[in-house]
Amino acid sequence: MKTAADVCVLYDTNRRERP
C-alpha cells in the first residue's frame, strides 16, 4: 500500500528527472 508521502516523493522525483 502506497502512502500519500510515497506517491508525492515518487511524483516529485519523476518530475525532476524530466527536462
| CA atoms of 2 and 19, how far apart (whole Å) | 26
The per-residue pLDDT for 10 is 82
The per-residue pLDDT for 18 is 62
Higher pLDDT, 13 or 9: 9
**What whole-number percentage of the chain has pLDDT above 70?**
84
What stretches of 1-19 show up as alpha helix (H) in DSSP? 4-17
